Chain A
C-alpha cells in the first residue's frame, strides 16, 4: 500500500511479467505496467500484460510488499472510451495500488467509480505549474504528480511549496524533453499517435538499412531520421532524437535532442531535499537485464542516501541510449 510517507520510493518499469518479478526481487518499492492495448503509452509489440498475467503480477508484488501501478496514460479518442473504462474497472478488480493517468476523462471516471484507488498524474499530462497540478488535485483527487523532465531542482522545490500532493520525478532512462502528451512527431510521420495509440515510432514502420561501408540508416515511415557511422553508437528510432541536414548544417545536426539518457544518481539527495517523494526509472520496453541492473543500483543508492552515506552507483552508462548520460534540465537549463 502506498502511503506517500516514504521519501525515495523507487518506482520501476515492467514490460513483461518476468520483468515485474525481476524488479520486485531487485528491490523496487513500486512497479508500473500496462495492458496490451492502446490504454498505455508503451503499446509495443510483444510487451505488456494480459489480465491474467496482471493478476499474477499483483499477487507476486503484494506478497513481497511492493505496489503495482497501472499505466492508463494515453488519451482515448472519440468513441473509444470504453476501452479505458474497462481497463480501469479491471485494474480495480485485480487490486492495483494506483492508476497513472493523463486524460481528464479517465481521471474523472476513476475518481468517481473507484474513489478508494490512488490516482497519479502521468508525465503525459505535462502539468508543470502549481496551478495546473492543483487543478488535478482539486478536481480528481490526484495524490501524486509525475513531473515533466524540463524543470530544475530549485523549480521543483518551489512547485512543492505550492501544491498539496506528492512529486515523482524520473531519475534514469529516456531524457524525454518533448512536451509529453502533446508530441505529434510520430503522428506526423506515420499517422499513428503516441498519445492515442500508445506507439512512439511504431516498430512495423521502422527500418534499419546498412550500406556497403558499414553505415546504418534509421528510417521511420519512409523518412530517414539518422545515419550512424560504422563505429558510432546508435539510438532509438525516434524523430525527436534524429539528425537532420539543412543548408546551414549539411553534415546533419540534432534538431530537437540527442540520443542520450537521463541519469540523476548524483542528485538523489538534492531531489529528496526538494521534496520529491518518488523516483521513477524509465524503460518498460527494456529487458530484464536492464531492470535488474538499474533497479539494483538505485536500490542501493537510495538506501545509502537514507542512511546518510554517500551513494555508490554502479556504472550504468552501458545501458544508456547513445552510451551517453546527462543530468539534463534538473542540473541546468543549458544542458546542451
Chain B
C-alpha cells in the first residue's frame, strides 16, 4: 500500500485510498502534468493513433481517487475522479501505485504483471495495449519529468516513492493503522 507520509502521521490517518481528498484543487495540477508530457513526448501520442480519442480510467488502487485520461492533444484530459462516479469510458486499468510506477519506469514488464494478476484491465483491450505500447516507447522517465515540474520537493517525493517501489519490505511500504 502507498503512503509517503512520515510513519507517526501515517499511523493516525485512514489508509490513503480512504482519505477524504478534495479533487478540485488537484485538477489544474493533473492538467499541467498531461500538457507537460504531451509537449515533451509528442511521439507517444502519434503512436496512440485512433486511441487518442479513447477515454481511459486509471485506477490506482491505493489512491483516494481514480484518474480519467483522454490523450487527445488538441483537448487533453487528465483529471481525478471519484470511483463511485466514474465518467463514461471505454477502457480501464487498475493496479497498485508501486506496480504502475514500476511499469511506467520500464522496470516491470506489463505482460508479466498481467500474468501475475497484479494488473487488471477491462473494456477496450486494443486501446489498453496501444497505450501500454506507446508509453513503453518513451525513453527516460515520465515520472521524473513530472517530478521535475515541482522542483526539489517533487524530486524528493519521487525518490521516496521509488524507494518504496523497490521492494515489499522497504521503508514506508506498509500502512499500519494501529
- Interface digits, A205-216 against B, CB 8 Å rule (1 contact, 0 not)? 011111000001
- Find A18's partner among B108, B114, B139 (CB 8 Å cutoff): B139
**A132 proximal to B (CB < 8 A):** no
Least CB distance from A103 to B in Å reads 26
- Inter-chain contacts of B49 with A (CB < 8 A): 45-46
Residue of chain B at shortest CB distance from A45: B130
Let me know if B125 and A318 touch, CB within 8 A.
no
| Range class of the A interface residue count | 35 or more
- Find A46's partner among B47, B114, B117, B122 (CB 8 Å cutoff): B47
A286 in contact with B125 given A19-B137, A46-B134 (CB within 8 Å):
no
Least CB distance from B20 to A in Å reads 27
**A239 proximal to B (CB < 8 A):** no
- Inter-chain contacts of B125 with A (CB < 8 A): 203-204, 206-208, 237
Residue of chain A at shortest CB distance from B119: A234
Please give the residue numbers on chain B whose beta carbons come within 8 Å of chain A beta carbons, in ascending order: 47-49, 51, 103, 106-112, 114-117, 120-122, 124-126, 129-134, 136-139
Least CB distance from B107 to A in Å reads 6
**A290 proximal to B (CB < 8 A):** yes
Most chain A CB within a 10 A radius of its CB, from B120, B122, B133, B138: B133
Let me know if B122 and A210 touch, CB within 8 A.
yes
Let me know if A45 and B139 touch, CB within 8 A.
no
- Inter-chain contacts of B51 with A (CB < 8 A): 45-46
Residue of chain B at shortest CB distance from A218: B125
- Inter-chain contacts of B109 with A (CB < 8 A): 286-287, 289-290, 293, 319
Let me know if B124 and A18 touch, CB within 8 A.
no
Residue of chain A at shortest CB distance from B108: A289
- Find A208's partner among B121, B130, B131 (CB 8 Å cutoff): B121
Least CB distance from B69 to A in Å reads 15
Let me know if A228 and B111 touch, CB within 8 A.
no
Least CB distance from B94 to A in Å reads 10
Let me know if B129 and A319 touch, CB within 8 A.
no
**A16 proximal to B (CB < 8 A):** yes
**A322 proximal to B (CB < 8 A):** yes
**A15 proximal to B (CB < 8 A):** yes
Given A46-B134, A236-B111, 10 further pairs, Cβ under 8 A? A44-B133, A45-B130, A204-B125, A209-B122, A216-B120, A233-B115, A285-B133, A287-B109, A293-B109, A319-B109
Let me know if A45 and B120 touch, CB within 8 A.
no
Let me know if A286 and B137 touch, CB within 8 A.
no
Let me know if A319 and B112 touch, CB within 8 A.
yes
Question: How would you classify the secondary structure of chain B's contact residues: helix, strand, loop or mixed?
Answer: helix
- Interface digits, A226-237 against B, CB 8 Å rule (1 contact, 0 not)? 001011111111
- Inter-chain contacts of A286 with B (CB < 8 A): 109, 111
Least CB distance from A144 to B in Å reads 28
> Complex Cα distance A19/B47, Å?
14
- Inter-chain contacts of A209 with B (CB < 8 A): 122
> Complex Cα distance A106/B43, Å?
31
In order of increasing CB-CB distance, the 9 nearest A-B pairs are A46-B133, A46-B130, A203-B126, A16-B137, A204-B126, A290-B109, A45-B130, A206-B125, A289-B109
- Inter-chain contacts of A203 with B (CB < 8 A): 125-126, 129-130
Let me know if A287 and B114 touch, CB within 8 A.
no
**A17 proximal to B (CB < 8 A):** yes
Let me know if A234 and B126 touch, CB within 8 A.
no
Least CB distance from B110 to A in Å reads 5
Let me know if A21 and B47 touch, CB within 8 A.
no
Let me know if A45 and B126 touch, CB within 8 A.
yes
Let me know if A288 and B111 touch, CB within 8 A.
no
- Inter-chain contacts of B112 with A (CB < 8 A): 289-290, 318-320
Between-chain CB contacts (< 8 Å), 21 pairs: A18-B138, A19-B137, A21-B139, A44-B129, A45-B126, A46-B133, A203-B125, A203-B126, A203-B129, A204-B125, A207-B125, A208-B121, A233-B115, A233-B116, A234-B114, A287-B103, A287-B109, A288-B106, A288-B136, A320-B115, A321-B111
